[in-house]
Each structure stands twice: as structure tokens, then as C-alpha cells.
Chain A
Amino acid sequence: MSAGQGNTRKISIYRYDPTEGGDGHFDKYDLYIEDETNTTILDVLIRIQREQDSTLAFRYACRVNMCGSCGMVINGREGLACKTNVSDFPGKEKITIRPLNHFPVVKDLVVDMGPFFEKYEDCLPFFEPKEDREEPYVIRPDSVERTAIGLATECIACGCCVSSCTMVNYHDGYAGPAPLNRAFTLLMDSRDALYDQRLDRVMQSCYNCRTEFNCTEVCPKEISSTKSIKYIQRMAMKDPFKGKTEASEDGQAVSEGCKGCGNEETDSGRRNFLTKMTLGIGAFSTLAVGGVLATSFVGPSMKKQKAQWVSAGKLEDLPKDNVTTIALNYKEQIGFYEQDRVKPVLVWRKSDSDKLVVYDSRCTHLGCQVRWDKPRSLFLCACHGGSFELDGSVKAGPPPRSLDELEYRVENGNLLIAMV
């Protein structure tokens, strides 16, 4: 045990008084610390409260990394006050302590965890037994199921991961790391009956993760929510287009696959996935696996969207023998997140009939917007000079292929275009 050295440390703590309101401010304290290796940030707060400012508020309970009450941001990084030692910040480095991000502040370092638990509950984080039974299941500890779940059930819901996540603030509907991690452990649990419903709940959310690994880095229990989220994406990819009504049949199959864990019923794709997952449990490979999963599974998910029919107005409004640019307004699924889109399409109405050709306005080179140049009778791309003939074929420049054509149909005089 290395003997610590006595030091006076500068501590800066965020203060907010709910009876006054406003933006809050930082108060500065000097604290002499005899042994920095034996002094936690929680000790620092307790001592400041006792010795210098009794009005300071912070939250803690167990003080041994088991309850997850004392999550806060310490020198820019989320952590439990009871698990962070002063010696983690060597030298004379100032220590700045502020409340968790993305949570309403109650007072000083105390935040309202309500929004966190709302999202947590929304992911159906609770076990629902498949059957009434008296005896616990016999499940081998080295089964694929339990190896995959591993210690991910040790989450203490401290909120550090949510605070560290850049996407939580960006998407209101994003459940965030801890709730998705819990959902993952239950999705893998062969004893649980809510596979379909739970997957349905987390489908939208799981694609909001941008694989930054912030949550994994800060987790005081060393759980990788990133990994759990990637696995959910993989589960969702098993059949990404199934909606609420259709999901059950397939979901059940996956769930039973779990129960069989490694037995013959398990299809090979799933086994591959689970093998990867098992490897991922190793200390080194969370990043590698997460990365692989991120590129190979998030990527394809973007392409395999189901087409939706978007109204482009009345057919009779389109001049004949002409190309018209129409901006389509619709909601697009990005991954499983819904976003409002405005997308221009190019509609060529031929002179002799009601026949149309509808082009996607994206250049097939790098996706810039092409425009119809009437005098030259060409579609032109401003980015790299690509040009296309009226029939969509490449006239010049880097585009590798013709413009993409979109499906259309006319219903009661209305033009509908299939958007992907």
C-alpha cells in the first residue's frame, strides 16, 4: 500500500438553490487531504459539508459502489463519488464536481432521476415468467445465454452512462444505455416471456446509439452498454421489417433459440452471432466487437427499408413533355428512428401518353442533388460535374451508373411515388 502525501486541494463544486432558481454557480473550497489514496470524492464532499459548508447537498447511500446514488461528473467524467479517489487526480490538479448531465437538478449535486427511471420502465426492464413453476431452471453457467448476459445484470442504475451519452439529449425518444442494457439481458434470458414486446419497445431506440463508447468508458460496474445495444440491433436485424403484429412468431423463434442455447435448434446465423458475443465477453474485445457490429449491422439496416407511397400531387398538374421537380414531404425511418424528410424527385412526363419516369434526385456518384437543365436537356450535378441524359443514362463525369428510377402509381388522378 503506497502512502499518500498530504496536500491542500482546490475543489470547485456546482451549487444550485431551488428556492432561488437561476443557472447556479460554482463554489470553491480548499481542503487539506492527508492521504489521497485513501480519500474518495465522497469523503471530500462529506468533509466539506461538515467542516466548511453544511448547506452543500449531494446524494449517497451505500458508499461501496453498490447502490448507484452518488453518480456525478468529476473533472468532466462521470463516476461514482464513492468509487473515485482523490489520487485519481494527481498533482495539484483542481477537482471540479458537477451534477450528472441531462438530468434536472434538484439542489447542488442532487439530480432528479425521474426521467431516467421513466425511460428505464419504458423498456420493460422486468422479468415476466414464461410459466408458473416451482423449481428454478437448470441453466448451465457456461451456456451461451448466461455467457452472453455475463455481468451485464450488475447495473446499479446510477445514470452515469446516460449522462455521458451524447445521443440521449439529441433524441427525446432515446432510452439510453442503461435501459437498453437491461432490455438486452432480458431479451437473452430464456426464462422470460416478453421477448417480442420488449424488442418492439427498444427497436426505435437501439439505432440511436452512435457507438461512441462513452457509456462503456464511464460505467462504474464495467458494463458495456454499447455492446448490449449492438446485440439488440443484431436481434432486431433478424427481421427488421416486422411490425408489432407480425413480430411475435419470429420473436418467439429467437427466444426459443435462446433456451436451446447452443443446441441443434439454433440456426447458424444466430450461433455465429452468439459466438462473436462470447468472444466479446473477453476483457479486450468489447471495442472490436462493437465496432464490427456497428459497421456490419447498422450499415445494412439503412438500405433495407420498406418502400412507402408518398403523394406527389395531381397528375394533371404536371406539364407534358417536361421534367418537373417535386419536393416530397414524408417521414423516413433512419434505422428505426423516424424523421421528417423533404426530398426532391424529378418527374419526366412524356408527351405522347400519361407515362412517367420518376428519378431519384441523388447523383449516383456521391449522392449530391442533381437538377434538370432544360436548355441543355440534361440532368446536371454541381458537385463533380456529372451529367445524365433525359433517359437517365450517364452522359459525362464520374457517376458509375444511371440515375435511380423510383416506382410510381396513379390512383384517382393522384401521383404516388415509392420512397425508400
Chain B
Amino acid sequence: MTQEKFRTDILIIGMGAAGQLAALYAYDANPDLKITIVTKALKGKGGCSRMVQGGLNVVLNDADSHDKHLMDTLKGGQYVNDQDLARTLVEQATPTIKEMETRFGCFFDRNPDGTIHQKPFAGQSFDRTVHKGDLTGIEMISRTTEQVMKRDIRVLEECRAVDLLTDASGKEVTGALLLDIKRGEFIAAEASATLVATGGGPTQYSFHAPGPEKSVDGLGMLYRAGVLLRDMEMIQFHPTGLIIPGSVVAGSLLEEGLRGAGAHLYNGDNERYMLKYDAAEERATRDVVSRSAFLEMLAGRECKEGGVQIDAAHMGADFVLTNFPGMAARCAQFGYDLARERVPISPTAHFVMGGAHIDIDCHASLDRLFVAGEDVGGVHGGNRLGGNGICESVVYGRQAGKSLAKFMASDTSTPSETKTGMIDELIKKYKEPLDRPKAGDVFKLRKQLQDCNWTNVGVVRNGKDMEKAVSEIAAIRAEGVKINVTGKKPYNMVWNTYIDFMNMLDVSDLVVSTALNRNESRASHYRSDFPKQDDDNGLFNNFVIRGDNGLLELHTKPVDFKYKSAEECRAHKK
């Protein structure tokens, strides 16, 4: 049988906000471009953008400024951000969010006078979070998905990219190998330009906020293709993940706006513990609040459900039900009354700050490769502010779209051929588990990996445990390459879980290796063996790349304080 394949001008992997906006802006710049979006889920239904609750940070008010938003972002990231990327984020957020309304039809919540409402979020010097109720992602992604439908943009649903394709030199990306999930068949997609915008979703931790179909696929693919990645030790744990014993819904979020509005946190001893950790109390940044909860839990001061508790009820039941109806409903489904009682929560793995090293036009380290959204590293430094995540996706989706169109217009060279034999080899690799004799269980193995990461490379880390994790991950991998996948090819969920799991393994390696290389505590990376932030030695970024020998190569570079000095960042008060 000959290999199914197609050629397109622009291949976009992922259909969250970044992927969709890239497609829309590229198309609008040149409607003649052949643009193909591939998504692991149904169109517009996958990814974390749709799951966004709180909203997006954007400067719209004269009393606010891009400088303040930038300083908040750098302070939140504990100074190790890529300042070019952070600056573009805050400056371009303003026109981007306006265009979400004027071009794509979003309608965000309003003030009584009809202007756009902005609410308070943690770590911000101004109330600048634009939102639609407490389930903002639905409005954003529903509207942009419709815009994609409106245009002549091809969408392949339930068609996941499994690996990037490269030329013989390995320096140029020629497209991606896709797996059509419904049929269980592989398709080779070749493109003049490829955008990776799969989103992250650190579900390699046992307690996680993103849905389980998010599995750091993009980061895995980028690493295997030899793309330069940065800041991979920085994993954000969101402080308020709902505790629901035994349910897949466990770890899903109660949004940050609750803390922004004034919700309190209590430990099992009925103590508002945040008072002793940070002057900003519950409105401290996510890294601080998560770590504080985790330290309380480690000290045995956990509540009976195992974590800590959030008290929104003290703000009044009416206030909670009016402003957080989605959160109240989510709690109610599991018997919790958010408006009238405390609800058990725990830190939950939420976001990968690390990712591909790009410039502000989304060019990554290989030719013809662009990256946007959570697959990118550097925008948020060591910790992402609530409301800056979806902001990154839309801003850099827009940047990528414009940049892709520009690239296509100016590109005079001929795209290289995919390396001979590469497609066949990859297909063989991914099909192999279907043919293996019955052995192992990918769900159990994935759980083992998640527990290992949670315990050893989680909210609180130390050198010894992480060394242990290195060998444990290696052992899990050794077992992983032997297990089989049962069932036939069409819509085989176990097979997909296996591919997810392979991506998680690669990313787990990256996180632990870089975390071991930062002997200090900074932002979301907290080491109990180096509990202090060390600005004399810690103002650097970890860069990792897959070397020619297939082994991980790590190097560091000092932070480039291009616009704001370390002193300015330190002095900034939220």
C-alpha cells in the first residue's frame, strides 16, 4: 500500500487559541494560502484554551500601562523571562483582545456603562483581567472556531501529529506524520511551513488541571526533532485544584478570580496559613500559594480530604453565585457548596512555562518551523501569572499567523525533501506496540510515571529525590517499550494513550534534568535542599536540545536584562 500523504502551504498542529488565531491571521493576510489545521480532538474541542476560566490580562485602561503589565509579568516570573517575548506579550495583548471582539465576534463581560469589565487576579498591580463570566474559554474558542469554519481553512479532526518530519540534514522541518485516530491510519503531511501549537498540559503529574488528552505532545515532538527548548524545569502548579477522590475530574480548577476577589485558604488546623507565607496573602502568585499549601500538607496540617480548603463563602453566598456560577456548579456536581462552605483543594499541575526558544515572530531553532502558545518557553519565566496564559496563546497565535504569511510571501527557496525512510521508520515505531505479544498495561505505567513526577519532581523538590526519579523514569521507559496495545486500529484509545505516554516520558526527562541543574529555589521551582532564591548564581536559563547522539544536551545562558534590570524587577511592587 502506498503511503497516504498530502501537501499544504502551512501546517498548523493544534487547534486551541494559538493554532486558530495563527490560521485566521495567516489566511486574512493571504487567502490563497493552503492552510491545514490538524487536531487531536474534534474541531475546537481540544486543548486548554477552551478550558480557560478566569480570563486574559490586557491593558485597556488609561490608569494602567504596558510597563506595569510587563513589570508584573517579570516579577511573577522571578526575572528569568525572555524580555522580548514578555514585552511583545503585554504590548500586543491590547490590540489582540480588541480584535477578538471587533473581528471575531467575542463578547466579553461589560461594566454597567457598556465598556469591557476587568477583574482582579493575583500578582497584578491593576485589575486587568478581561473575562466572560467564569468560563471565558468557551466564548473565545467557540467564536474563533466559527471563524475558522467561515474561511477556506482545512481542518483534520481527531488527527494527531505524532512526530515532526525533517530533511536529511535534520535542520529543516518538512511537515509532520499524522495519525488519523478514527481510522487508525497514518498520513504524511508535508508543508512549506509548520506551526507547532499543541499546548502543553503537564498531565505527567498525578494531580493535574488540564484534561487527560493534553499530554505535552508538542514538547515531546519538538524535542525529538532536535528543537532548542528552554526553562523546562519550570512547571506551574495551580493552587486551587478540586479534590474529588477517585474521579478523573479531580485536579480540575477553581479559578483564580476566587482568590482575586478575596477567598481565604485554610489548613486542617483551621488556620489561614497564607498570612505567614506572603504579605500578599491569598493574592500572592500561584507558585507561592501552591508551595505554601504543599508545605502545610507535608507538615501534616492537611484537611481530612487530604489538601487544604478554600473559603469563598465568607464573601457571601449571593456574591459567589453571581460572580462564579460556573465554579459553584462544578462544586455542586460533587456535593460541595462553594457559596456556603469550605471546599477541599490541592495544588494541581497546570502549565509548562518551558518550551521552544523562539523570537517574537515565533521562529524556532529549525528552518520552516514556528511555535506558539504553551509549547513556547520564556514568555513567563519561572512562573506564569493567572490570565497571562490564554493571553500568550492569542497574542502569539496572532504573531505566528502574520509571521507565517510573511514567510510564505518572501520564501524563494524550495522546501527540502523529507529524509528518505523517515516516514516508514516512524510508522514502524508507532505501530509496533500493536503487534507485540500481550505485556504490561499502559494505564498502570502512566500512573507510575505520574506518581513518580508528583512525588519527586513536583511542587517541592530536592536533589536526592530527583536523582531517584531519573532512574525511575528510565525504568518506566524500559518497561514502556515492551508493552503491547490491544485492539484494532480504528479509534483505539489505548494506542493513543500509549503515544501520549511516550511524549510524557520525554518531557519528564527534560524537566528532571533541568531541575537538577538549578541549585536554588526560584518561582515555581522550589528545592527544599536549596530553599533560597540565589540571584548571584541563579539568573540564568537552562537550554536543552537533543544531541546528534540522541542524548540530551544541556547548557545555560545568563538572563538578558534587555529592557528591565534585575534591580528594577526586584524593586517592583505589585
Q: Name A's B-contacting residues (CB within 8 A).
A: 1-2, 17-19, 34-35, 37-40, 42-43, 46, 49-50, 54-69, 82-83, 85, 106-108, 110, 113, 117, 120-121, 125-129, 132-143, 146, 151, 153-157, 182, 186, 189, 191-192
Contact = CB atoms under 8 A, between A and B. Distances in A.
Contact of B115 (A54, A63, A138): A138
A66 B210 CA distance: 12
Interface in B96-110: 98, 101-105, 107-110
A203 to B, nearest CB: 20
Given A1-B334, A61-B213, 7 more contacts: A42-B249, A106-B182, A107-B490, A107-B491, A128-B150, A135-B102, A156-B138
Interface of B: 41-46, 50-51, 95, 98, 101-105, 107-116, 133, 135, 137-139, 142-143, 146-147, 149-150, 182, 211-213, 244-249, 252, 329-330, 333-336, 443, 486-488, 490-494
Contacts of B336: 1
19 contacts: A37-B334, A43-B248, A54-B486, A56-B493, A57-B492, A61-B213, A62-B51, A64-B252, A69-B41, A83-B333, A107-B491, A125-B146, A129-B102, A135-B98, A136-B108, A137-B101, A141-B109, A156-B45, A192-B105
Contact of B139 (A110, A153, A186): A153
Question: Per DSSP, are chain B's interface residues mostly helix, strand or loop, or mixed?
Answer: loop
Given A63-B252, A142-B112, A157-B142, A106 B491 contact: yes
Given A59-B42, A62-B51, A134-B98, A126 B105 contact: yes
A141 B116 contact: no
A218 B486 CA distance: 35
A63 B212 contact: yes
A113 B155 CA distance: 13
A153 B101 CA distance: 14
Contacts of A83: 333
Contact of A125 (B102, B149, B492): B149
Question: Per DSSP, are chain A's interface residues mostly helix, strand or loop, or mixed?
Answer: loop
Contacts of B108: 136
A141 B114 contact: yes
Nearest to B48: A62
Contacts of B43: 117
A52 B110 CA distance: 50
Contacts of A43: 246-249
Given A127-B146, A134-B98, A40 B248 contact: yes
B129 to A, nearest CB: 16
Contacts of A69: 41-42, 45
Contacts of B443: 50
B345 to A, nearest CB: 14
Contacts of A17: 488
A66 B136 CA distance: 10
B490 A121 contact: no
Contact of B335 (A38, A54, A117): A38
B213 A60 contact: yes
Contacts of B137: 66
Contacts of B45: 61-62, 67-69, 156-157
A133 B182 CA distance: 42
A121 B149 contact: yes
Nearest to B213: A61
